[in-house]
């Protein structure tokens, strides 16, 4: 591993679900202590399972960051109940605030900004609040294919970062093309968005698995990289590894220190252990 890549991957985070955590005997055998572990909320998951997972990770030396999907949370009281459980039962101090994938919200919240405007996170003393970033835009937010609404929301989050004691960052959707990422980061910097970015990277996985998740998650232009690879019979059965995008971004960051990517965030579609081993063996 060259120095640029080593620096780029230092302190990476990873995403799990309660089910994934329950199927791993000892997380400490797989991930470095202190790793930031995002806990994805799958619709229908009891909040008790999310809190239990957060507590287990915390007790084993990891930093849990549960998802708060706005469209799943019915109202301010529901949100306060979640926050209280995470704080009192698992000592959670970090949260990823997202709109969530539902077309229609369960209740009164439709966006992460509405969650923030309740003031409950600041009142509870959360130290790190992350929001979603979209290097390829989001048709859910901008159906016309522009970035107008996304960029307006980023400007709001930038303003919020100046009036909260919490550390604010953007954690992005996964992407396969370094140029797409570089262009996006530089674009939002030109409009004054300098919030630190934790870039989403798909961990090693079967090509068919990644294409499936990419389509489900609305990954756009960079999906062509996977589709092109799928046409090569010699590569079709080999697992995809994000070697190229990591090297390209690490080199760019090394040559442009002001480049605003701070960390790498892995989506371990092929498994947590496989992603961890990929980093170790890079």
Q: How far is Cα 279 from Cα 124, in angstroms, rounded to an integer?
A: 35
Amino acid 100: pLDDT:
86
The sign of the CA dihedral 111, 117, 123, 128 is positive
Its pTM stands at: 0.91
Across-strand partners of 36? 63
Q: Residue 212 in contact with residue 278, Cβ under 8 Å?
A: no
Written as tens digits, the pLDDT of the chain (282 aa) is 799 999 999 999 999 999 999 999 899 999 999 999 999 999 999 999 999 999 999 999 999 999 999 999 999 999 999 999 999 999 999 999 999 877 788 899 999 999 999 999 999 999 999 999 989 876 566 666 667 778 888 999 999 999 999 999 999 998 889 999 999 999 999 999 999 999 999 999 887 777 776 666 666 555 666 666 555 545 556 688 999 999 999 999 999 999 999 999 999 999 999 999 999 999
Q: Beta-carbon neighbour count of residue 110 at 10 Å?
A: 15
Q: How far is CA 85 from CA 36, 47, 52, 73, 172, in A?
A: 19, 9, 10, 14, 26
Amino acid 84: pLDDT:
98
Of 52, 120, 119, 137, nearest to 81 by C-alpha is 120
Q: Beta-carbon neighbour count of residue 256 at 10 Å?
A: 13
Write out the chain in H/E/C secondary structure: CCHHHHHHHCCCEEEECHHHHHCCCCHHHCCCCCCEEEECCCCCCCHHHHHHHHHHHHHCCCEEEEEEEHHHCCCHHHHHHHHHHHHHHHCCCEEEEECCCCCCCCCCCCCHHHHHHCCHHHHHCCCEEEEEECCCCCCCCCCCCCCHHHHHHHHHHHHHHCCCCCEEEEEEEECCCHHHHHHHHHHHHHCCCCCCEEEEEECCECHHHHHHHHHHHCCCCCHHHHHHHHCCHHHHCCCECCHHHHHHHHHHHHHCCCCCEEEEEEECCCCHHHHHHHHHHC
Amino acid 136: pLDDT:
83
- First and final C-alpha spacing in the chain: 6
Domains defined along the chain, listed by start: 3-281 (3.20.20.220)
Of 5, 2, 29, 9, nearest to 272 by C-alpha is 29
Q: Residue 35 in contact with residue 12, Cβ under 8 Å?
A: yes
């Amino acid at each position: 591993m060259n120095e640029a890549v080593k620096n780029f991957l230092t302190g990476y985070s990873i995403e799990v679900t309660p089910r994934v955590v329950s199927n791993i005997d000892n997380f400490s055998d797989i991930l470095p202590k202190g790793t930031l572990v995002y806990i994805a909320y799958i619709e229908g998951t009891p909040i008790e399972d999310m809190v239990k997972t957060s507590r287990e990770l915390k007790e084993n030396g990891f930093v849990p960051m549960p998802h708060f999907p706005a469209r799943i949370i019915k109202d301010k009281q529901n949100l306060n109940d979640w926050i209280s459980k995470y704080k009192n039962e698992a000592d959670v101090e970090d949260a990823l605030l997202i709109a969530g994938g539902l077309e229609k919200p369960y209740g009164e919240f439709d966006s992460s900004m509405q969650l923030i405007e309740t003031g409950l996170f600041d009142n509870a003393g959360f130290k790190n609040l992350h929001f979603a970033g979209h290097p390829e835009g989001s048709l859910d937010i901008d159906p016309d294919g522009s970035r107008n609404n996304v960029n307006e929301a980023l400007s709001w989050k930038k303003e919020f970062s100046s009036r909260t004691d919490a550390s604010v960052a953007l954690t992005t959707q996964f992407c396969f093309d370094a140029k797409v990422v570089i262009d996006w980061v530089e674009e939002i910097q030109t409009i004054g968005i300098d919030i630190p970015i934790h870039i989403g990277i798909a961990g090693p996985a079967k090509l068919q698995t990644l294409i499936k998740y990419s389509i489900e998650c609305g990954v756009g232009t960079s999906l062509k990289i996977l589709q092109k690879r799928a046409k090569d019979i010699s590569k079709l059965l080999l697992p995809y590894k994000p070697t190229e995008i990591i090297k390209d971004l690490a080199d760019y960051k090394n040559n442009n220190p002001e480049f605003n990517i701070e960390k790498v965030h892995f989506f371990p579609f092929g498994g947590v252990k496989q992603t961890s081993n990929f980093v170790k063996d890079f």
